[in-house]
């Protein structure tokens, strides 16, 4: 059971996922600050002086501004993780595909021999007819 777990844990996808989760958690606060303090105020200025803090945007109790900020956070974090994993994959040792050995079935082998013998007989008969 331990060996199975080690094989599972050492697969590339599991390691990539772990790296993504760790990087995402560590990077999350930086991105949240970037979105809340820099990007959203710029977007507010661009679209015509809307409240610079999108988290205050709401329609009644529906806080759609906070949702917009969260979506932008997610997009930036996911793209950053994508770039990081892509960067790490460049350094992974590439496995060479195993050479595929075409194993011929015994039946096919025998049929090939029969075909060759028939061809030889046919050639032999042709030569004898002309002589």
Stretch 32-55: mean pLDDT: 72
pLDDT exceeds 80 at position 22: no
Residue-by-residue DSSP string for 30-94: HHHHHIIIIIHHHHHHHTTS--S-GGG--BTTB-HHHHHHHHHHHHHHHHHHHHHHHHHHTTSPP
Angle at which helices 64-89 and 12-34 cross, to 10°: 140
Considering 5-9, 27-31, 103-107, 117-121, the range whose residues carry the highest mean pLDDT is 117-121
pTM more than 0.75: no
Instruction: Tell me the average pLDDT across 91-113.
Output: 76
Looking at residue 130, its pLDDT comes to 64
Please give the Cα distance from 95 to 116 (Å, whole number). Answer: 40
pLDDT of residue 71: 80
Q: What is the pLDDT of residue 124?
A: 72
Lowest mean pLDDT among 18-22, 28-32, 83-87, 92-96: 92-96
Tell me: the pLDDT tens digits for 47-92?
776 655 666 677 777 777 777 777 887 888 778 878 877 887 787 7
pLDDT at 9 over 70: no
pLDDT of residue 52: 56
Please give the backbone phi and psi of residue 17, each rounded to the nearest 5 degrees, phi first. Answer: -65, -45
């Amino acid at each position: 059971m331990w060996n199975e777990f080690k094989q599972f844990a050492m697969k590339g996808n599991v390691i990539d996922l772990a790296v993504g989760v760790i990087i995402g958690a560590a990077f999350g606060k930086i991105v949240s600050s970037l979105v809340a303090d820099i990007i959203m105020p710029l977007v507010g200025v661009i679209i015509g002086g809307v409240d610079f803090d999108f988290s205050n945007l709401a329609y009644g109790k529906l806080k759609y501004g906070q949702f917009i900020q969260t979506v932008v956070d997610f997009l930036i974090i996911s793209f950053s993780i994508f770039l990081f994993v892509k960067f790490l994959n460049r350094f992974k040792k590439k496995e060479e595909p195993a050479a595929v050995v075409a194993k011929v079935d015994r039946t096919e082998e025998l049929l090939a021999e029969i075909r060759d013998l028939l061809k030889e007989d046919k050639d032999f008969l042709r030569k004898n007819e002309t002589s």
